[in-house]
Amino acid sequence: MSAVTKAVLAISGGVGGAKLALGLADSLPPGKLHVLVNTGDDFRHMGLHISPDIDTLLYTLSERSNALQGWGLADESWNVMETLEGLDGDTWFRLGDRDLATHLWRTGRIDRGDKLLQITGQLARQMGIESHIHPMCEEPVRTTVHCEGRDLPFQQYFVKEQCGPAVTGFSFEGIAQARPNEQVMAGLNDRSFSSIVVCPSNPFVSIDPILQIPALWQALRDNQAPVMLVSPIVAGMAIKGPAAKMMAELGVPVTALGVAQHYANRYPGLIDVFVIDVSDATLAPEIASLGMEVTVAPTLMRNRQDKQRLAKIVLDLVLV
Ligand code: FO1
């Protein structure tokens, strides 16, 4: 890995992406990882600004995350939620006591007019994170999940209704006004990145909101750095979350080929290399016919070593 001296840009949603980001952070020199993170899941809840994917990255990279739960902090206590339950309060979205400190502090800063990128940078530094975590934009972009007969704000679909309703599509309110993170754009303009890694996050609700910020995916495509995508679908199943269920409901094949078709149709020419799991090796020729190079590798990340191994495979692709 010593040959990689430039920075690497990862593009990520929450849990699945954060796993690979941790492997990348472990495998790169300190400060060389930049992560561009989805904020389409953000919302105001009980007066607080919540940025779930940013916090998943912060907590994962600082080794504070609750890996079993998939969100929030390890060793959390729930006194506020339990007290709210007693008051018949709003508890469908569960905020742990220590996690609440992040939301209270961030909301205060936002309400004073500070930028999300500065706030996130300060949180990362305070947590001892050397990687750079970049919110995808400053403007509010809110994912709406279109379901049969109704439209649901993302967290209502995801948490309150447990991803139950069948989806028919997605929209990202405010995206037309959004401008991509200025630090990431400066890095692209300066050719600072040796590679761009699209993490194994949900293509529809984690990566699409980022790539659909005006002019962003074209800037990524036209950059000199190769763009590598790691499949979020392995052997017909999602690494985490509702991606497989969504694909089935949208009529997209629930395979790595379906993922490749999604990227090839929406973002022609963006993906240079698609990393698929060994269990999906037979799909390689058809994926290659879409104009992507295919690398077959073990992509499941069950432990820290798996994350580091996959990160090294992805990083080494740039050197060949
Ligand atoms: N996910 C849940 O399934 N239930 C929750 O109560 C919940 C609370 C929560 C609080 C803070 C936070 O940052 C994330 C939280 N999440 C919860 C996860 C979050 O809804 C999803 O992981 C993402 O939005 C999808 O990437």
Q: Take residue 51 and report the two structure tokens written for it.
A: 């940025």
HSE toward the beta carbon, residue 270, CA cutoff 13 A: 23
| pLDDT at res. 239 | 78
Q: Take residue 54 and report the two structure tokens written for it.
A: 């940013």
| pLDDT at res. 233 | 96
Number of the ligand 1 atom closest to the C-alpha atom of 70: 22
Say which range, 28-42, 186-200, 234-248, 297-311, has the weakest mean pLDDT: 234-248
Instruction: Give helix 79-86 / helix 97-111 axis angle, nearest 10°.
Output: 90
Quote the percentage of the chain above a pLDDT of 90.
92
5 by Cβ neighbours in 10 Å (0-12 / 13-18 / 19+) ranks as exposed
For residue 58, what are the CA distances in angstroms to 55, 132, 187?
5, 10, 21
Kindly indicate the confidence band of residue 89, based on its pLDDT and cuts at 50, 70 and 90: confident
The H or E element that residue 57 is part of is helix 52-61
Tell me, in angstroms, the distance from the centre of ligand 1 to residue 71's CA: 6
The H or E element that residue 108 is part of is helix 97-111
CA separation for the pair 305, 228 (Å, rounded): 20
Q: Which of 91, 105, 159, 162 to mutate to test the pocket of ligand 1 (most atoms within 8 A of CB)?
A: 159
Give nearest CA residue, ligand 1 atom 13.
Answer: 52
| pLDDT at res. 125 | 98
Direct distance between the N- and C-terminal alpha carbons of the chain, in angstroms, rounded to an integer:
12
Kindly indicate the confidence band of residue 2, based on its pLDDT and cuts at 50, 70 and 90: very low
For residue 55, what are the CA distances in angstroms to 58, 59, 62, 65, 217?
5, 6, 10, 9, 24
Give nearest CA residue, ligand 1 atom 21.
Answer: 52
Q: What is the pLDDT of residues 255-291, one digit of tens each?
A: 999 999 999 999 999 999 999 999 999 999 999 999 9
| pLDDT at res. 1 | 39
Query: Domain residue spans in the chain?
Result: 7-317
Pair 53, 78: CB distance under 8 Å: no
Mean predicted confidence (pLDDT) in 37-50: 97
Q: What is the pLDDT of residues 213-250, one digit of tens each?
A: 999 999 999 999 999 999 999 999 897 789 999 999 99
| pLDDT at res. 88 | 84
Tell me, in angstroms, the distance from the centre of ligand 1 to residue 285's CA: 37
Q: What is the pLDDT of residues 99-156, one digit of tens each?
A: 999 999 999 999 999 999 999 999 999 999 999 999 999 999 999 999 988 999 999 9
Q: What is the mean pLDDT of the chain?
A: 96
Give nearest CA residue, ligand 1 atom 12.
Answer: 52
Pair 242, 206: CB distance under 8 Å: no
| pLDDT at res. 319 | 57
CA separation for the pair 277, 284 (Å, rounded): 10
For residue 285, what are the CA distances in angstroms to 134, 159, 234, 316?
35, 38, 17, 22
Statement: residue 83 has pLDDT above 80 = yes
Q: Which of 93, 105, 133 to mutate to test the pocket of ligand 1 (most atoms within 8 A of CB)?
A: 93
| pLDDT at res. 255 | 97
Q: Which residues line ligand 1 (CB under 6 A)?
A: 13-14, 41, 50, 52-53, 55, 71-72, 93-95, 99, 155, 158-159
* CATH number given to 7-317: 3.40.50.10680
Give nearest CA residue, ligand 1 atom 19.
Answer: 52
| pLDDT at res. 320 | 47
